[in-house]
Amino acid sequence: MASTEGGVTLDLFAELPGMDGPEILRSQLVLPAGLVSYDTDGDASYIDQPRLRDSNFDSVSDKRIELVIDERDYAGGTQGATLHRGKVELFDQAAGYLVLSDADYWDEDFGDWTPVPFPREIAYNFHELTEFREPGMTFVNPDTITIGEELVVEGLFLSNLVEGLPRKHWAGVINRSE
């Protein structure tokens, strides 16, 4: 625990059982701001990790809870992998929300980028386990993402038209373009 000008920072540690032995999980919770981040690359630093709103102060972001609910609600629908490229139009790290404009998607059938239908925007949700990377697989500080910058987002779409739910996109990895 460390006191800062803005409140208290709690560094949390858990050892979870895994297939190849125990998995070490480190997280950081900033109070009273209610922001959580995870050390997904294992370097004991949180500067290169997204910080998201944690309204319950339970070290699980509001967006991660939303994803768990979405996985339940969209269970009867369809889901699949996505790959989009576009310019950052909106980026709200604490809310876990990203909008790309002038967006393209990777079309497996053609082996090339294809424009997203008008208005050529795509919205992605992300959570504290989403990775932000530079070319060459180096982790990047999400604070350095800027409006107009080109990103490539690898993720998942969820769709359940039978239940009347809108199509949603969840980012797994957000890459800076080369």
Task: Outline where the chain has alpha helix (H).
Answer: 62-73
Q: Residue 90's domain spans which residues?
A: 71-176
Domain assignment present for residue 66? The answer is: no
Measure the CA angle with vertex 137, ends 82 and 13; round to 5°.
95
| Three-state SS at 77 | coil
Domain assignment present for residue 123? The answer is: yes
Task: Outline where 34-88 has alpha helix (H).
Answer: 62-73
Task: Using a cut of 0.85, tell me whether the model's pTM lies above it.
Answer: yes
Q: Are both 87 and 118 inside the same structural domain?
A: yes
Q: Are 96 and 49 in contact (CB under 8 A)?
A: no
Question: Which CATH number belongs to the domain containing residue 140 in this structure?
Answer: 2.40.50.320
Q: pLDDT digit of tens for each residue in the chain (178 aa)?
A: 565 666 788 888 876 666 677 777 788 988 889 999 988 888 888 888 999 999 999 888 999 999 999 999 999 899 999 999 999 999 999 999 999 999 999 988 888 999 998 889 999 999 998 999 998 778 889 999 999 999 999 999 999 988 889 999 999 999 998 7
The 10 Å Cβ neighbour count of residue 54 is 25
Q: What proportions of the chain, in percent to the nearest 5, are helix, strand and coil? A: 10, 50, 40
Q: Are both 110 and 153 inside the same structural domain?
A: yes
Q: Are both 99 and 45 inside the same structural domain?
A: no
Domain tally for the chain? 2
* Side-chain half-sphere CA neighbours of 44 within 13 A: 0
Amino acid at 46: Y
Domain assignment present for residue 171? The answer is: yes
Task: Tokens 């989403």: give the residue.
Answer: 130
Q: What is the pLDDT of residue 94?
A: 96
Q: Are both 122 and 46 inside the same structural domain?
A: no
Q: Are both 76 and 148 inside the same structural domain?
A: yes
Q: Are both 135 and 113 inside the same structural domain?
A: yes
Please state, in angstroms and rounded to a whole number, the distance separating the CA atoms of residues 155 and 21: 27
Q: Are both 77 and 31 inside the same structural domain?
A: no
Domain assignment present for residue 86? The answer is: yes
